[in-house]
Amino acid sequence: MTSTATEVAALLAQLTLEEKAALLDGSDLWRTTPVERVGIGKVWLSDGPHGLRSQPESGDHVGMLAADPSVAFPPAAALASTWDVELVGRVGVAIGAEARAKGVSVVLGPGVNMKRSPLCGRNFEYFSEDPRLAGTVGAAFVRGVQSQGVGTSLKHFAANNQETDRMSVSADVDERTLREIYLPAFEQVVTEAQPWTVMCSYNRINGVFASQNRWLLTDVLRDEWGFEGLVVSDWGAVYDREKAVHAGLDLEMPSSNGFGTQRVLDAVRSGELSETDVDRAVTRVLELVARSRPALADPGTADLDAHHGLAREAATRSAVLLKNDGILPLDAATGTVAVVGELARTPRFQGGGSSQVTPTRVDAALPALQEALGSRLTFAAGYAIDDDAPAATTSALRDEAVALAREASVVVLFLGLPDAYESEGFDRAHMQLPPQQVALLEALADVNDRVAVVLSNGSVVEVAPWRDRAAAILETWLLGQAGGGAIADLLLGRANPSGRLAETFPLRYEDNPALGNFPGEAGHVRYGEGLLIGYRWYDTRDLEVAYPFGHGLSYTTFAYADLTLDVLDDGAAPRVRVALTVTNTGERAGHEVVQVYVTDPEASVFRPAQELGGFTVVELDAGVSQRVEIELGARAFQFWHPEASRWVVEPGRFGIRVGASARDVRLAADVELAGEVVVPVLTADSTVEAWLAHPVAGAGLRAHLESDPVTAELFFSPETGVMLRAMPMRRIARFPGSPLPEAELETLAAQAEAAFRLGVS
């Protein structure tokens, strides 16, 4: 036993049942319950995760009351667009340091839920529509925060992909889809970074609340993935406290005002809940308290100015240049620049709800541009940010902007979503920008064809209706408190855009895969699109999109060459090294995000057209080449075998596509993998085809069927063979004159199985 384990065991032994039950409940909104009698202190858990939201003891939890100032970093949607684990890790370190300095022991995040629908109100808090990207940057964030002796809370576990009815809706998802799409980001963060805590979600999964879902919280999270930390409820996610304890939910937050404590006591006393289950949960609370102690004893200080600088760097790297007809960057020769849009002066830099931070300061783009352009810059607000009305035929604000645009050599137009459009707690009603803003773009473009649009939005918007009117589009997401300076740097070419889309921009809302299955009805949301989320859908359906997953332009260009593939390990858990040379063929330094997509054209099950297998970011000076290596692990090739209920790589050929987006494949090659053959378990109800394919039973059955000309004709002729072989053996056996003995089928199947499993073991 480690010394902590010994100490925790000794403490546990001293506690009364009442004290144990109390320890499983919060003491207020943000803190655990202390037991002073034996020296157990409180632990403070606090939102984030895009900056610290530490509220005073009397605070609320949905952002209505102010929190102490901290640095607001770009939210997850932006940060993921960097694809840069090193940078995301540094942001984590900074947030961890701020938490430590405040005495906060657990930062409540990151959120690694998938962006299933573009309308989910919390998409700005989530990384991606792809589990590998979300899991990779999520793990980097967790490692960063936790390097400071402060924990994280990986949330919202699991299948919390909408805000509509979030506290009750049942996400009805088949297991393969859960395993391949909705769980892997959690799995990757748990296995690679061991977050101190995992936060269960509010919703139900296939009818069972996440908070009392033993399969999820114990079988999968702990037994399969080896999670070692504590499971905390989302704030108010507990229903039957005793069932939750048994399922593996250790800590209920916030305080249930004694309600949960009493339920635990009653359930133990009535024998409904075992004290062993309670002890297990209490042990995890005590371990959390023990883990928190070193940082609490040595809080240190956080350098908020340096963190502001880091927030600016992260913001610069997060913005995605969607389109550029050559007007960006604005160069010295550019004449007057008309900056239009209230968002240039009043930035929307974060989303609403529990992640809302009170920033230490906020930089708007307008003053940063003014500083650089001086009298060459003119400004008009153009619209009021929360003006959601249908576009008026006349508008004084618009007229003023049009007058400036007419005189300018370039227009930089800031457009974006108002706070009321997207937030925690509700889903968006549509994917459009406010009508006034689109009307403003049209009016400006009518008088000046050099309009660069700067977008501020936490999740994708429809750009197709108006993008032809813009000569350039810079997607800046919500960029945190230092976003204004970052935008100025990018527009002016002091920085080179390097963000790449972590989510697809569909042409129109109606193209998205969750349509019709989102947000559900009568308490259920059916994940009917299955594996086909995001680019998996658009690429498999070969649908045109506005901007594909992985897309993003730069002020330089990159060439890809000399692809090599090396199988490092073969068999059931292959590893393949992908190597290529990337050259910066332009005139300025820049970052390129090299993406590797895997295809499985020979699969025995349905697979999406391609899936992201790995990626890396490379920074290159102009003219410089670099050899880049990306290692693909087994998971890049595996699928969740629905019959075997485990991950499987099938033998055969896999396609490797290397490119600059899901639709911009630059190099491709195939790799042959040994994989493993999975033989489904044979029963009397297996089809004739399955029997014939069985390594032990197959040959005998075939010989038997072929021994009689009539049955040979029935089972193997092109006319009737396919139909008959698709039938279960038992049904065939029951037909009059059947060649198969029903009474013996069970035994034959069992014998064949036994012989086969013996042979392979």
Contact positions vs ligand BGC (CB under 6 A): 47, 61, 108, 155, 234-235, 354
Give the chain's length: 761
Q: Which is nearer to ligand BGC, 110 or 548 (CB)?
A: 110
> What is the SS3 assignment for 338?
strand
CB of 74 to ligand BGC, least distance (A): 18
Q: Which is nearer to ligand BGC, 199 or 490 (CB)?
A: 199
CA–CA separation, 715 and 738 (whole Å): 12
Q: Which is nearer to ligand BGC, 234 or 503 (CB)?
A: 234
CB of 75 to ligand BGC, least distance (A): 12
CB of 756 to ligand BGC, least distance (A): 49
Six-digit token pair at 530?
A: 């299955």
Q: Which is nearer to ligand BGC, 234 or 462 (CB)?
A: 234
Burial of 734 (0-12, 13-18, 19+ CB in 10 A): exposed
Helices (H), 448-516: 483-492
> What is the SS3 assignment for 540?
helix
CA–CA separation, 490 and 485 (whole Å): 9
The C-alpha angle 275, 279, 281, rounded to 5 degrees, equals 120
Asked if 221 and 198 touch (Cβ cutoff 8 Å), the reply is yes
| Cα 275 from chain centre | 37
Paired with 233 in beta bridges are 200
Q: Which is nearer to ligand BGC, 92 or 347 (CB)?
A: 92
CA–CA separation, 717 and 529 (whole Å): 37
Q: Which is nearer to ligand BGC, 17 or 167 (CB)?
A: 167
CA–CA separation, 366 and 254 (whole Å): 41
CA–CA separation, 89 and 148 (whole Å): 12
Burial of 499 (0-12, 13-18, 19+ CB in 10 A): buried
What is the edge-to-edge ordering of all strands in the sheet holding 652-661?
A: 611-620, 590-599, 652-661, 664-673
Asked if 444 and 401 touch (Cβ cutoff 8 Å), the reply is yes
CA–CA separation, 384 and 388 (whole Å): 9
Closest-approach residue to ligand BGC (CB): 354
Paired with 381 in beta bridges are none
CA–CA separation, 29 and 26 (whole Å): 7
Rg (CA), the chain: 29
CA–CA separation, 95 and 83 (whole Å): 19
Residue 558 phi, psi (nearest 5):
-130, 145
CB of 108 to ligand BGC, least distance (A): 4
CB of 155 to ligand BGC, least distance (A): 5
Burial of 300 (0-12, 13-18, 19+ CB in 10 A): exposed
Q: Which is nearer to ligand BGC, 63 or 552 (CB)?
A: 63
Q: Which is nearer to ligand BGC, 30 or 538 (CB)?
A: 30
Asked if 312 and 117 touch (Cβ cutoff 8 Å), the reply is no
CB of 288 to ligand BGC, least distance (A): 16
Among candidate residues 25, 84, 165, 234, the one labeled active-site is: 234
CA–CA separation, 653 and 656 (whole Å): 10
> What is the SS3 assignment for 263?
helix
CB of 47 to ligand BGC, least distance (A): 5
Asked if 173 and 159 touch (Cβ cutoff 8 Å), the reply is yes
Q: Which is nearer to ligand BGC, 47 or 187 (CB)?
A: 47
Instruction: Establish whether 234 is a catalytic residue.
Output: yes
CB of 494 to ligand BGC, least distance (A): 36
Q: Which is nearer to ligand BGC, 47 or 650 (CB)?
A: 47
Q: Cα dist. 709→484, 688, 703, 738 in Å?
A: 82, 18, 11, 14
CB of 235 to ligand BGC, least distance (A): 4
CB of 612 to ligand BGC, least distance (A): 26
CA–CA separation, 681 and 695 (whole Å): 11
Active site residues: 234
